[in-house]
Chain A
Amino acid sequence: DTGVSQDPRHKITKRGQNVTFRCDPISEHNRLYWYRQTLGQGPEFLTYFQNEAQLEKSRLLSDRFSAERPKGSFSTLEIQRTEQGDSAMYLCASSLAGVENIQYFGAGTRLSVL
């Protein structure tokens, strides 16, 4: 257990539905990251927050994706109008500023869009 928790662990949804995932980072970590991982590939960066500010978004993060970290603690990632191509593992990680490349990952949320 890394101390980063994600909920749910698995989500099955129908195409066109909206889904929301939650990530609770290690409490003293001010940076929070979202990655996406498809089968056979390494994780790909989506976005990150420092405290409550979203500082960077990948071009992978289409307009249907939105992430928030309202109080600088937990974060949510919402996907609207899901598509089959959204099926993937969504990973959350956290770190301390200053040691950004030592990130602690949660176990991920596996999304299946039917």
Chain B
Amino acid sequence: DAKTTQPPSMDCAEGRAANLPCNHSTISGNEYVYWYRQIHSQGPQYIIHGLKNNETNEMASLIITEDRKSSTLILPHATLRDTAVYYCIDGGSNYKLTFGKGTLLTVNP
């Protein structure tokens, strides 16, 4: 079973920031947090990962709390193409990703 918890769904207006939360209270000290998303009819797509520092790449920013029990994925200017299921995964295995049900983000025009 997934060791992270996420809200089942969220809405965001196009052009606004989307902030997707994730709780990972059982994460170990050396386990990274990974975020993937899955657009309808496609395979999951890697977005970003982090350990304890905030991270940013061309797709998103990742904010990890100091106690590492939760994180927030930020899409700074959401577009309609960002509508997808977003998965937060703790990196407890070196060979498999354990997906939960994720958060369905719907970006509205």
Q: In the complex, how many residues of chain A place their beta carbon closer than 8 angstroms to a beta carbon of chain B?
A: 26
Give the size category of B's interface with A.
20 to 34
Q: Contacting chain A: which of B13-21, B41-49, B61-69, B74-82?
A: B41-49
| Interface stretch of the complex, out of A35-43, A65-73, A80-88 | A35-43
B36 to chain A, nearest CB (A): 8
A105 to B89, CA, bound (A): 15
Asked whether B46 lies within 8 Å of A103 as measured between CB atoms, the reply is yes
Distance to closest chain B CB from A110 (angstroms): 9
What secondary structure prevails in chain B residues at the interface with A? loop
CB pair A42 B99 closer than 8 Å: yes
Cβ contacts under 8 Å, A103 to chain B: 44, 46, 97
How far apart sit A33 and B49, CA to CA, in the bound complex (Å)?
Answer: 20
Separation in Å of the B49 CB from the closest CB of chain A?
A: 7
20 contacts between A and B (CB under 8 A): A33-B95, A42-B85, A43-B99, A44-B99, A45-B96, A45-B97, A45-B98, A48-B96, A58-B96, A91-B43, A93-B44, A101-B49, A101-B89, A101-B91, A101-B94, A101-B97, A102-B34, A105-B43, A105-B45, A107-B41
Chain B residues within 8 Å of A, Cβ to Cβ? 2, 32, 34, 41-46, 49, 85, 87, 89, 91, 93-102
Closest 3 CB pairs of A and B: A42-B99, A105-B43, A45-B96
